[in-house]
Amino acid sequence: MKTLTGTGRVRIGEDLAELKFTVPEGACAPDALLPGAQELANAVAALGEARARQAGFKISCTKGCGACCRQLVPISPTEARHLAAYVAALPPDRAVEVRQRFADALSRIESAGLSPRGDADVDKASYREYGLEYFRQGVACPFLEEESCSIHANRPLVCREYQVTSPPAACAKLGSGEVRQVAVPVRVWSVFSRSVSSTGDVEWMPLIEALRFAEANPEVDCSRTGPQRVEAFLRELKK
């Protein structure tokens, strides 16, 4: 399939960020946008880090510090399918191991009687409370190994945007007010979710639901061309 590549710079807060999308010329699924959105999320995180350093702070996130990998990780349906495809492509024995981790994580959260609620953009109070209750269960991300992300290059958009300047130990006490999260001028994960949603709302689920969701809901939306999907993303980005 023929592809088109567009590059440019977009204003993010008070800064400019590089933007690049390579998408099919014709009709395509929403995941065609994901590589470009991932790069933008990386750029936005870099802007946040630069501002933190200018203010005299240092990013404390390092390999081997996996406290944040027990937090709620909201992902869009498109990202869920992307992660499911990643797991399906793993060597069989490895895929079985990762799938079992997903199943165990789901079982623990559901046994605690928790179900997703709130909207990260609208109902922030309910969303935050659910996130705190989720964190209290101590359920590790299925991709966490030796306190490090085993899919770093393919990690969700929201993970790319999360950085802190507080001591690593503070991340184990989420909700205590001790965590100093680095502010980002825009949350690319919610922009992406709205841009690929048929309703324009933020559609999300906890990462641990990705495999189950993808199995029950294969992608069927190829209603837009690649350029149309980029335009929808840029419209949401400008809001």
Spell out where 65-152 has E strands: 74-75, 144-145, 148-149
Residues 125-132 have a mean pLDDT of 93
On the question of pLDDT at 168 being above 90, the answer is no
pLDDT confidence bin for 172, thresholds 50/70/90: confident
pLDDT confidence bin for 171, thresholds 50/70/90: confident
pLDDT tens sequence across 66-89: 888 999 999 999 999 999 999 999
Looking up tokens 């929403």, which residue turns up?
A: 30
User: Tokens representing 54?
Assistant: 């200018």
pLDDT tens sequence across 178-228: 899 998 889 999 999 999 998 899 999 999 999 999 999 998 899 999 999
Q: Label residue 37 exposed, middle or buried (CB < 10 Å: 0-12, 13-18, 19+).
A: buried
User: Tokens representing 94?
Assistant: 């490895």
What was the pLDDT predicted at 54?
A: 92
To 5 degrees, how large is the angle CA 173–CA 174–CA 176? 75
What was the pLDDT predicted at 64?
A: 80
Q: Label residue 169 exposed, middle or buried (CB < 10 Å: 0-12, 13-18, 19+).
A: exposed
pLDDT confidence bin for 177, thresholds 50/70/90: confident
pLDDT confidence bin for 154, thresholds 50/70/90: very high
On the question of pLDDT at 61 being above 90, the answer is no
Residues 16-23 have a mean pLDDT of 93
The DSSP annotation for 44-60 comes to HHHHHHHHHHHTT----
What was the pLDDT predicted at 173?
A: 84
Residues 4-31 have a mean pLDDT of 92
On the question of pLDDT at 42 being above 90, the answer is yes
User: Out of 117-121, 136-140, 225-229, which region has the weakest mean confidence (pLDDT)?
Assistant: 117-121
What was the pLDDT predicted at 122?
A: 84
What was the pLDDT predicted at 68?
A: 85
Residues 126-131 have a mean pLDDT of 93
Helix 188-196, helix 226-238: angle, nearest 10: 130
Domain ranges of the chain: 3-238
Q: Whole-prediction pTM value?
A: 0.93
- How far apart are the C-alpha atoms of 88 and 154, rounded to whole Å? 14
Question: In what helix (H) or strand (E) does residue 36 lie, and over which residues does it extend?
Answer: helix 34-54
Mean pLDDT, the chain, rounded, equals 93
- The answer to whether the CB of 77 falls within 8 A of the CB of 203 is yes
